[in-house]
Amino acid sequence: MTMPPKKQTSPTQPSCGKCDSLIKKRDKSISCSICNIPFHPVCYNISDAKYEVLTEDDSLFWFCNSCRAVTVNIVNKLVNLERRFEAVESENTSLKSNMADMMKQLESVQTKNKLLEEKIAESIEISKQNKDKLHLKIERKDLKIENLKVKVDAIEQSKNNRSVRILGIPEVYDDGSLKDTILSIAKENLDMPDMKCCDIETLHRMGRVNQDKPRDIILTFTAQSMRDEFYKNRKKSPKANGNQIYINENLTAFRAKLFYDIRQLVKRKKVHSTWTQHGNVMLKIEDTSRPIAVYEYSTLQRLTTGNIYEESADEMSIGFSDEYSEGDE
Ligand SMILES: [Zn+2]
Ligand SMILES: [Zn+2]
């Protein structure tokens, strides 16, 4: 806002804004800094001293009564505005401060979150390593257990080494004559006329009575040599009352099952042949391959490509016959 000059020196002889009479050239006059209307200082009770100060100092303003009222109003409004501005400013500052606090909290949460994520990743890694270790331990234990099973089975089998399992001898009411039947078979079919009652340590039938087929007989000899001769001569195809008789090695339940399963593989042409030798289950993968003794299923699985469990897992039958021995010893 540019302020007009305070001294009225207009040649048009203006009139006083208060008394309305002309302001002559020699009269003192003072003009309002806003409306520019001239006044006699006397009409506004302005002393000579005050008049001197006001007219000499350009930085001082003087307002007439009506302009003063407007000015006060404007100033009040300005003051109000300033206060409101200050209030907004203060609110803004507080907001900024709150915002800064929140940012700090957010940063702290983010830092904690990151730490937590790192810890979780660490835990996952550790538990994965533990799991791997555990798996390894379990695998080793499984291997040990299988080795133990094989050992126990070998011990069990060694008890059976002096015995044979005989199939196909008809059951009669008086099984007391069983010894005589055996001795008669030995004499007439197996070229063992010297075999006597005292060569037989134990002789008994196995399992429950079956109407359809006679129960297997376990024959244990007092001497290993006698048993081996009896078993060796089984190929002379003995008969009893016209029935075909089969003489097999007396295998443990486990080996009998293993032998049965391998015979199924022979039928499916996955294995060339299988037989037993001194209580061990033997097999040949090809006609020309070397005979291998099998003591557990893991070896069998390694040797054969197909899954041996798929068809025979549920079959517990221990059916002994000579049909299996495609490549007998
Ligand atoms: Zn006047
Ligand atoms: Zn004025």
What pLDDT score does 317 carry? 36
Enter the pTM of the model. Answer: 0.55
**pLDDT score of 175:** 63
Ligand 1 centroid to Cα of residue 42, in Å, is: 7
Ligand with smallest separation from the Cα of 17: 1
Q: How far is the CA of 72 from the centre of ligand 2 (A)?
A: 13
* pLDDT for residue 314: 38
Tell me the CA–centroid distance for residue 125 and ligand 1, in Å. Answer: 100
What confidence score (pLDDT) does residue 174 get? 64
Per-residue pLDDT tens digits of the chain, which is 329 residues long:
445 545 544 457 789 999 999 998 899 999 998 899 999 999 999 999 999 999 888 888 899 999 999 888 988 999 999 999 999 999 999 999 999 999 999 999 999 999 999 999 999 999 999 999 999 999 999 999 999 999 999 999 999 999 999 998 888 766 668 888 899 889 988 889 999 989 999 999 988 888 888 899 999 999 999 999 999 988 776 776 677 889 999 999 999 999 999 999 999 999 999 999 999 999 999 999 899 999 988 888 888 864 444 444 333 333 333 334 333 33
DSSP-H helix ranges across 243-290: 253-267
How close is the Cα of 71 to the center of ligand 1, in Å? Answer: 22
Tell me if 221 sits within 8 A of 227, measured CB to CB: yes
State in Å: Cα 55 to ligand 1 middle: 17
| C-alpha–C-alpha distance, residues 132 and 138, integer Å | 10
CA of 110 to the centre of ligand 2 (A): 65
Tokens describing residue 223 = 């001497």
Q: How far is the CA of 34 from the centre of ligand 2 (A)?
A: 5
Which residue's entry shows tokens 């702290």? 108
Instruction: Tell me the CA–centroid distance for residue 67 and ligand 2, in Å.
Output: 5
For residue 287, CA distances in Å to 194, 235, 257, 261, 273 come to 38, 22, 23, 19, 8
Rounded Cα gap, residues 164 and 186, in angstroms: 13
d(CA 63, CA 32): 5
Residue 3 sits at φ, ψ, to 5 deg, of -90, 135
